[in-house]
Structure 1
Amino acid sequence: MSIAKKIELYGASTPNVHKVLFALEELNIPYNFNVLNLRNGDQFSEEFKKINPNSKVPAIFDPNVEGGLAVFESGNILQYLATRYGNGKYLPNPTTDIKGNTQVLGWLYWQMSGLGPTQGNLNHFNKYAPEKIEYALKRYSNELSRLLHVLEKELKDHTFIVGDQYTIADMAIYGWIRYLYMYPEYSSQEFPNLFKYMDRVRSIPSVNKVVTEAEEDLKKDPQKPFTDEERKIMFGQNGKSNQN
């Protein structure tokens, strides 16, 4: 399908945004990347809420649909892009391949409901929480280990997570597991299939482009510790009318 107008991507350098960048680059979809300053609360602006009422990144706006279409939630965005622009390659058509379609979506939802939230919570309590809560760290560390063992077993005989075809499920999963370097307790000795898989996905040109650019940006502008005000903006929202 030809794309007359660029898709607008709204996000920052986060795992969920990288997932969408993997898809846009792999599918060769022209786009503009509108970078939001999450620490300053750009995601809570009324303008952005028109794109995503949940005030989270990523979100996209596709002007190629009549009247325009805003799509939010990273898994939903991946499914949308693959369905509309992927020609059945990155998400099999359910009409012609219901098995493949269901398997890819199963692993996509597995990442959305399990791997992402677990790894995200572990990272939060390990890196951002003002105090160390051992129960939380142990809880999410154990669950992440369990999930990684699920992947390790599944990848024993597969090139990618669903057979030998790179799909949106891989985009979603790799967006998170590429950060395992932050946790040396999860080693290639324990997860050999998983680490080989990570290398395979990273070697895909579209993936390598996104990751390399993200790494270079981080070198130029290393992440600074949160100020109290930034912490309040990022983690103190409760949706009440007296807040953004």
Structure 2
Amino acid sequence: MIDLYFAPTPNGWKISVMLEESGLDYDIKWVNIGAGEQFEPDFLAISPNNRIPAIVDHDPADGGEPVNVFETGAILLYLADKAEDFLPHDLRGQIAATEWLMWQMGGLGPMMGQHGHFKLYAPERIEYATERYRKEVLRLFGVMDRRLADHDYLAGEDYSIADMSCFPWVQTYKRQEINLDDFAHVKRWYETLKQREGLRRGMAVGRDKINRNPQDDAQTRKTLFGLEE
């Protein structure tokens, strides 16, 4: 059994999608990030960077003590190895999947996160910051679009953890006012992935717990964004 320490965010959904797609048994441990539960000692022992998601695998392959894993890229690689699925077995396929997984972690996710923050949650509009991150998000969508112009999926012809890592961020495009019609290959990929039952189940996890307006509560603003009154 795997414990998934989770909140309904794009990063959280990466892992719930993988667990649903792979069929691995898991149990959700809800983490109320608005209330600051990610700073509690028990959680920090699992995820020292005080970020969700994190997992504890109570049945690791070596038969030893439970294994803790934090950081979404590390978790996805761990689960792909455990499930023996969603990571190509050939050398070049593995390289491609890992490259695009790292691309998401170092680029698409952080840039969309920053753009979303300044556009949706910042207490005052800072035009320079919003436009700086918007331009970078559009550049990254262009990179992804070129890749998908001649590949069905990011790692090549097979669906992988690279796609799972990107989808939850791409699905925020409406709130971030990104026009998918400007990225035809990304749109084709997005619509294809939306039909996957495992992905749909994973993306449904915790939908009823989403706080769509965290900026409206003073304590939540302070906890999530470091903003004082």
Q: Is TM more than 0.5 here?
A: yes
The answer to whether the aligner puts 1:196 opposite 2:188 as a matched pair is: yes
Task: Please list the CA deviations of residues 203-242 of structure 1 after superposition, one character each: whole Å capped at 9, or x if unmatched.
Answer: 1110112224555x26xx66344322211111229xxxxx
Return the alpha-carbon distance in structure 2 between the equivalents of residues 31 and 133 of structure 1: 41
Mapping of 1:62-211 within 5 angstroms?
62-65=57-60, 66-85=64-83, 87=84, 89-93=85-89, 97-184=90-177, 186-211=178-203
TM-score, L = length of structure 1: 0.87
Return the alpha-carbon distance in structure 1 between the equivalents of residues 28 and 205 of structure 2: 13
Q: Which runs of 5+ in 1 are unaligned?
A: 1-5, 238-244
Percent identity between the two aligned chains: 36
Return the alpha-carbon distance in structure 2 between the equivalents of residues 213 and 41 of structure 1: 20
- Equivalent in 15, 22, 34 of residue 20 of structure 1: 15
- Equivalent in 204, 218, 230 of residue 220 of structure 2: 230
- The Cα of 1:187 is off from its aligned counterpart by 1.8
- The Cα of 1:116 is off from its aligned counterpart by 0.3
The answer to whether the aligner puts 1:52 opposite 2:47 as a matched pair is: yes
Return the alpha-carbon distance in structure 2 between the equivalents of residues 12 and 225 of structure 1: 14
Return the alpha-carbon distance in structure 2 between the equivalents of residues 71 and 206 of structure 1: 22
Query: What one-letter code is carried by the residue in structure 2 that aligns with 1:46?
Result: P
- The Cα of 1:128 is off from its aligned counterpart by 1.5
Counterpart of 1:242 in structure 2 is none
Mapping of 1:216-227 within 5 angstroms?
217=208, 223-226=212-215, 227=217
State the secondary structure of the residue aligned to 1:24: helix
Return the alpha-carbon distance in structure 2 between the equivalents of residues 48 and 212 of structure 1: 24
RMSD: 1.6
Q: Which runs of 5+ in 2 are unaligned?
A: none
Return the alpha-carbon distance in structure 1 between the equivalents of residues 47 and 205 of structure 2: 26
Q: How many residues in Structure 1 have an aligned counterpart in Structure 2?
A: 223
Return the alpha-carbon distance in structure 2 between the equivalents of residues 213 and 172 of structure 1: 16
TM-score, L = length of structure 2: 0.92
Moved over 2 A (4+): 210-215, 221-226
